[in-house]
Amino acid sequence: MPRATSIVLCTYNGARFLEAQWESLLAQSRRPDEIVVRDDGSTDGTPALLARLRVRAEAQGIRVSIAGNAHNLGYSANFAAALQGATGEVLYLCDQDDVWHPDKLATLSAAFDRRPELLLACTDARRVDAAGVDLGRSLFGVLRITRAEFRAIHRGDGFAVLLRRSMATGATVALRRTLLADALPVPPGWVHDEWLAIVAAALGGFDCIERRLIDYRQHGGNQIGMPGRGLREKWDDLRRPRADLIEMLIARDEWLAKRLRRLREKVQQGCIECASAKLAHMRVRHGIAGAPCARVAPILRETFDGGYRRFGTGWRSALRDFLRRR
């Protein structure tokens, strides 16, 4: 029997694109059992629109629950709260401004039915502009996920990949509700989608589906898919101060190491050690300061030890540490 599915939709001043997204949810070839909506204090008419859209879904036999926050929680905290209100076995994160392809639910539901070990999956997406015009490269293309990274993820070694960088975009994510017991609460400094994905990977249950299953709308508020930077911008980025950023990343890694230790009996072998090595690497990077000549030795040590390759962008990270202002 197919597993019960919940779409978890968060809204905030999303009236412009919300109706198109809602219609795409109702047009799924595999109908959802439930749509859980949490509004984060919209002032643009979104709540009134949701009330009208609710009637359409319920007319098709889909349960709908709509809740609003007394004060604005922010994107990540709103999703974390909404997830806890969903009752399905498999939960589908949904942004207010995208459009789902008709086979999204069916495709992902089949993957979860077929693979009991799968805890969280993300998919590729077609990137479109505000008018729905194709922008060319897909989401995975913009993220520059390599074939080596895909192979590692598909064979169950996604933790090391996600420890280096995030690639699970929330609008494409589906997860088993059982993951929430181990993953929530989302710690400070982490976005909900990247945190859920890395915990799932540590538990051996993360994968990427290499299919474009949504139209991912780019309309000025998204960071992914923005125009490329020129040489001057890239040079300025290499040299900008990063001490605060590295401190934030260290705090994130400390939270991750703490959670993995709590889940020690469940996580894959080597994940705790890998997370500890990443934390040690970031602490070394934080200590790199002073004149360029004083930075050479620690940078070379981290380079030869493989820290920049395992946990960063290789020579680019090393160059940033050499050039950056404190």
| CA–CA separation, 94 and 10 (whole Å) | 7
The pair of structure tokens assigned to 313 is 């962008």
The pair of structure tokens assigned to 118 is 């799968």
Q: Where do the domains of the chain lie, and which CATH numbers do they carry?
A: 5-217 (3.90.550.10), 231-323 (no CATH)
| CA–CA separation, 162 and 297 (whole Å) | 28
Helix/strand/coil percent split, the chain, to 5: 50, 15, 35
Q: Residue 204: left if φ>0, alpha if ψ -120 to 50, beta else—which one?
A: left
Q: Residues 20-68: pLDDT tens digits? A: 999 999 999 999 999 999 999 999 999 999 999 999 999 999 999 999 9
Whole-number pLDDT of residue 222: 46
Q: Residues 199-253: pLDDT tens digits? A: 999 999 999 999 999 999 998 754 344 444 555 555 555 555 667 888 999 999 9
Element (H, E) at 140: helix 139-143
Q: Residues 301-317: pLDDT tens digits? A: 999 998 988 998 889 88
- 236, 242, 244, 250: CA torsion to nearest 10: 140
Phi, psi of 110 (to 5 degrees): -65, -40
DSSP 226: P
Look up residue 284 and give its amino acid. V
Q: Residues 120-169: pLDDT tens digits? A: 999 999 999 999 999 999 999 999 999 999 999 999 999 999 999 999 99
Average pLDDT over residues 84-90: 97
